[in-house]
Structure 1
Amino acid sequence: MVHKGIRPLVFCGPSGSGKSTLLKRLLKEFPDKFGFSVSHTTRKPRPGEKDGVHYHFTVKDEMVAAVERGEFIETTTFSGNMYGTSKRAIEDVHRTGKTCILDIDIEGVKQIKTTDLEPLLVFVMPPSIEELERRLRARNTEQEDALKKRLEVARKEIEFGQDPRNCHIIIVNDNLIKAYAELREFVVKNVKDDKPESNPSQE
């Protein structure tokens, strides 16, 4: 079991919604309060990515075996690659006394909500699916087929995120300064060193 301590802060939202940018700002402003949980993946590193920093890069056989041993709290598969959060990754952050931040997809959110970690859930929403497509195309990191598949997944994620029962806060990232201000206000109010009271939206 993962040690039950400070409630983790979970970020969810489509690729291109701006989760990573908001997350990085939060870590930069509060370096002593938050620590990032590094996920595992079976995909190959992209240019500039470092093992143990951006992801723990592994191979499918090893990750499947670790999942079967119960070493992960959530896993998902996208484009044939596995992704997941290990119990050890969360424990490593807990041991520093910091709040653990996770960046996971909606399947991961569904899985982590079944644990006793009582996560605080933040959904980052793009202004529109059209704007999301524009952002993804501007990255120029994927082939057309992969891009279309990512947009299909994004539509399902947006549908999930629009339901207020699924997350504690929904942030529409149409303006980075405004979006970060909303995130910061939520974090200052809800993330404490001791376990905060249950959020009404979880009831």
Structure 2
Amino acid sequence: MTIYELKPKRPFRRIDQKDIGKVFGSTDKLMNRITLKDFYNYSKIPNQDAIVLSIGGEIVVAITIQQISFKDLLQEYCGDAVGMPKKWELNEDDKCAYIDYLNKNSKSKHASDRISYGYFTLTEAINYCRKLSVKAVFLFSDGTDPDNLFNKFYKYMGFVKKSKRYFDATWGGDLILTMLSLV
């Protein structure tokens, strides 16, 4: 379901049903479980969307965004998080965005530029979130080394850690909750 009208200046667009069969994969074994069909199905859920970076017909990066209240975000996604602050700068009803998946396509001919494309796609997603008038963007730093990913990528983008590194049994790997304030 569309939560904001995307009018990209770069090759960003909403995922489309015709994208489902395209070649897509990740070098990260946990992220490799998420298919373009999953991204497409995610985009059909109310208050959720999936944006892709498409170059020459290839999906280079896919990302999901959910519009959610701060209270619901904590209840639905942060129940197992360790070392979270007791006091937050947000109120329960504040509107937030949750980026559930950011997956770079290792099978793309543009795979050598995946980090820069990941940066541009996350920047586009943050701009998308600003247009939704959310107060903060949340995502989990994950993968085989979430500390390294946070320090080399998310921290550079302005995100701050909001939990300690912990193992999430549902995900099957370590996570760190991160937040970017938009106020």
* TM-score > 0.5 by shorter chain: no
- Give the structure with the larger strand fraction: 2
Structure index of larger Rg: 1
- Give the structure with the larger helix fraction: 1
